[in-house]
Amino acid sequence: MSYPPENCQDASRWPGLPGRPVRIGGITVTYAEAAAARAALAKAGGIMVRQVLKAAGSPLAVCDYHAAAVRFRGQFLAVPAAGRGAAGRPVARQAFIKAIEEALRQAETAEPARHFAAELDACRAAFGSDAGYAAAMAGVAVQARQAEHAARLRAMVTAAAREAVSACAARSGEFSCAASAACGPGDCRLASGAMAQLRVPAGPGRLPRPGNHVQAGRGFGTGPALAALEKAVPFTVAVRVSAAAAARACGAVAA
């Protein structure tokens, strides 16, 4: 197992994190010292804990590692032995490593803004002293949100079309369809929610109509449906689009 874990993969870049205090086995060390101790134990293998930490010069060598590890021992008691005797089942070492990892995670998730205190202060100072810079940064943020909004709507329409084509193909021969809209939105019998309100003809495209359609195999596109959805759910800085919000907006437009 690697560390930092995947959900904290940027932890090493947090300026204040290495010096953040971490409490393990009755003593307080820094995040960096705890991470180094974990690495030393993981590399050493075997059953030794205190001896490994002493050799590595870790301040955790004097901690009560049994007390820190006790709550995690159960996770390793049922693991098959890797060798003969006690060396094949290093429960205490594995449980203590788990205890260190848990302490490191708590340090990473506690008040994360504090890790970037200096950067945040610099940003506030820049915004307060340079109106042009503040406006430019706000503009970039709005552009990013607008692109995200458009991508979400596009993903909703594309997913609806692909799911409808797959569902229709799974019911091959059960019915005949002459829908003018793209598969998924509009008058498609498999349309639902916001998609059912997008009653516009399909555009040209590469996605083939399924076998139940009167134009089976002919390509269609979702461009008109996407344009209708974008009109019904316009971009707003303060609101993130969701399927439920899109359905409400499309229903209001249709009414």
Note the pTM of the prediction, 2 decimals.
0.49
Distance CA 220, CA 209 (A): 7
Say what the pLDDT of residue 241 is. Answer: 54
Distance CA 50, CA 57 (A): 10
Q: Which of 133, 130, 62, 47 is nearest to 93 (CA)?
A: 47
Q: Which of 69-78, 84-93, 116-125, 214-223 is predicted most confidently?
A: 214-223
In this structure, of 78-82, 178-182, 244-248, the range with the lowest mean pLDDT score is: 78-82
Look at 250 and 144; give whichever has higher pLDDT: 144
For residue 79, give the 3-state DSSP assignment.
Answer: coil
Q: Which two tokens stand for residue 183?
A: 């598969």
Confidence of residue 66 (pLDDT cuts 50, 70, 90): very high
Distance CA 144, CA 240 (A): 12
Q: Is the pLDDT of residue 19 over 70?
A: yes
CA 83 to chain centre: 38
Residue 19, C-beta contacts closer than 8 angstroms, at least 6 positions apart: 30, 31, 32
Q: What percent of the chain clears pLDDT 70, i.e. is strictly above it?
A: 80
Amino acid at 228: A
Q: Is the pLDDT of residue 1 over 70?
A: no
Q: Which two tokens stand for residue 63?
A: 């901690």
Look at 145 and 252; give whichever has higher pLDDT: 145
